[in-house]
Amino acid sequence: MQKFQIGDRVTLASMPNYIFVVVQLKIDGSYVIESPEGNGSTLTYDNVSAEMLKSTLTTGTQS
């Protein structure tokens, strides 16, 4: 299972077009994630399991 740190950029399996930032690690191993919206509000999800998240980091090299 992949682990994430505060500040990591992730996507939700159900919302791959949104970029979220991990803002809190919970004691039960779940995460709180946030994504700023264009109108000044923030979309927040609480108690998100690691299985629902995917890192946005790429490991390719540029030629």
Q: Domain residues of the chain, as ranges?
A: 9-55
Q: Where are the beta strands (DSSP E) in 1-63?
A: 9-12, 15-25, 31-36, 42-48, 53-55
- pLDDT for 7-17, tens place per residue? 999 999 888 89
| pLDDT for res 1 | 66
Could you give the percent of the chain with pLDDT greater than 90? 65
At 38 the pLDDT is 84
**Residue 61 clears pLDDT 70, i.e. is over it:** no
CB 8 within 8 A of CB 55: yes
Q: Pick the most confident of 2-6, 46-50, 54-58.
A: 46-50
Burial of 18 per CB tally in 10 Å (0-12, 13-18, 19+): middle
